[in-house]
Structure 1
Amino acid sequence: MSRILIIEDEQRIASFIGKALRAAGHAAEIAASGEEGLALVESSEFALVILDVGLPGIDGFEVLNRLRATGNNLPVVMLTARGALEDTVRGLDDGADDYIVKPFRVDELLARVRVRLRDASRPAESTTPSVNGIDLDLRTRRATVEGREVELSAREFALAEEFMRHPDQVLSREQLLSRVWGYDYDPGSNVVDVYVRYLRTKLGEQRIETVRGVGYRLVG
């Protein structure tokens, strides 16, 4: 049984989600504001957070930012009426593990919760991967190259981490889209190439090789 925190100010929706989670064998607790949710995370143990965006006081994006700023990697599924692409991208870039738009199907929500709980239960990998002079600290979200700190956006950091988990392995654009962006994306987009270019500028041009017709490889 997993203990899940629902941060949702609409009582009817929060109650509905709580009942669905309990029926699926989980324990559910509800917070009606971002401040209350953060306080509960600090004082209790949870396996996952379901987080609304439109909250009174601080909104869900700020709640997420505060969690990640403290190095808290608790899985977060954002559940919101904001369905614009820029909101989805913002939530994922800020560190959400998933983003579901209201109205939603309860079976889909439970399926995504299962996936995130399963991912979180896997054996922990190193929180400080180091390859070829590049060091990442996954807890503080800091990156250094030859001892010099470099500033990476959330998406750049996630892409760098994916490369460093697989040094000397060729990763296709499709693999990188799936693993780093994590949601349906136009396969014809050049977003991977753009972000690889960003990383090369910050980590060193020679560290990430292009394998023509296949993808990219981090030189280990």
Structure 2
Amino acid sequence: MRILLAEDDARLATPLRDFLSREQHAVTWVGDGVMALAELLKGHYDLALLDWMLPGKDGLAIVAELRRRQRHTLVLMLTARDSLDDVVAGLGAGADDYLVKPFRMGELSARIRSLERRADRPYERQVLVWGPLRLEVESGQTLVEEELLPLTSKERQLLEWFLRHPGRLAQRPYLLDQLWSIDADAGEETVKTHLNNLRRKLRAAGCPDPIETVHGQGYRLLPSP
């Protein structure tokens, strides 16, 4: 893909550019929002990786301007802002996906492949369902019987993982590797705490606990009731 990388921190941009080049993408790097928008308006790019907090013009303003001008370049927002309101704002402005820093290069590669597939077919909203529970992937909203359930970013990521892998056993070290960044100050007890909090919130909302503990083996999603 032809990718525009808009990131003002060279410490992140350089390894990102090198990684994407190794993945056989053609990458152009710019360090501020004004340059990013000017490049994107030329129409030479398949995908824009936009940092939210760019100097000159932030990523949210860039994607809003692109959509206002009917430019359909794929946009993946890269940001440390992980609140639900931020996710909703980014997607509402017209971004196609949202990746929270710090992230693993493997996850970035998977998101890009997903966007590449999406470019070849009409957009379909992703909704994961289990019994009375519904997770709207793009917005991050989790609902139980149409009532919004407030989850932290990690609780939502854990829930999404299990909903995407029904019946698959996962131990805490595996979940830690999949969902926490390498430099995160986290261990197996962190995973256990977030899982316990997620399950407690679901039960309090009137949803049966969807996650089964298989002693000595890990956790797995129960069949939908």
Per the normalisation by structure 1, the TM-score is 0.61
Long gaps (5+) in structure 1: 77-89, 100-110
Query: Match of 1:85?
Result: none
- The structural deviation recorded for 1:57 is 6.5
- Show the 5 A alignment for 1:65-80: 65=86, 67-68=90-91, 70=93, 72-74=95-97
| Partner Cα distance (1:73, 1:189) in 2 | 32
Per the normalisation by structure 2, the TM-score is 0.60
Pick closer, same or farther for the CA change 1:131–1:164 going to 2, 3 Å.
same
- Show the 5 A alignment for 1:48-197: 49=49, 51=51, 55=55, 61=79, 65=86, 67-68=90-91, 70=93, 72-74=95-97, 91-92=101-102, 97-98=103-104, 117-118=112-113, 121=116, 127-183=126-182, 189-197=188-196
Pick closer, same or farther for the CA change 1:177–1:70 going to 2, 3 Å.
farther
After alignment, is 196-205 or 175-184 more displaced? 175-184
After superposition, the CA RMSD in angstroms is 4.5
- The structural deviation recorded for 1:26 is 3.3
Amino acid at match of 2:104: D
Query: Match of 2:75?
Result: none
- The structural deviation recorded for 1:187 is 8.5
| Partner Cα distance (1:63, 1:36) in 2 | 22
Pick closer, same or farther for the CA change 1:140–1:209 going to 2, 3 Å.
same
- The structural deviation recorded for 1:216 is 1.3
Deviation sequence 1:104-158 (CA, Å, 0-9, x none):
xxxxxxx987666446556899710101221010111100112221011221111
- The structural deviation recorded for 1:168 is 3.0
- Secondary structure of 2:170's counterpart equals strand
| Partner Cα distance (2:38, 2:90) in 1 | 11
Instruction: Calculate percent identity across the aligned residue pairs.
Output: 26
| Partner Cα distance (1:146, 1:62) in 2 | 31
- Secondary structure of 1:209's counterpart equals strand
**Pairing partner for 1:219 from 193, 217, 222:** 222
Aligned residues: 190
Pick closer, same or farther for the CA change 1:43–1:161 going to 2, 3 Å.
farther
| Partner Cα distance (2:19, 2:181) in 1 | 25
Pick closer, same or farther for the CA change 1:38–1:54 going to 2, 3 Å.
closer
Deviation sequence 1:71-113 (CA, Å, 0-9, x none):
734475xxxxxxxxxxxxx724xxxx437xxxxxxxxxxx987
Q: Which runs of 4+ in 1 moved over 6 A?
A: 13-24, 38-43, 122-126, 184-187
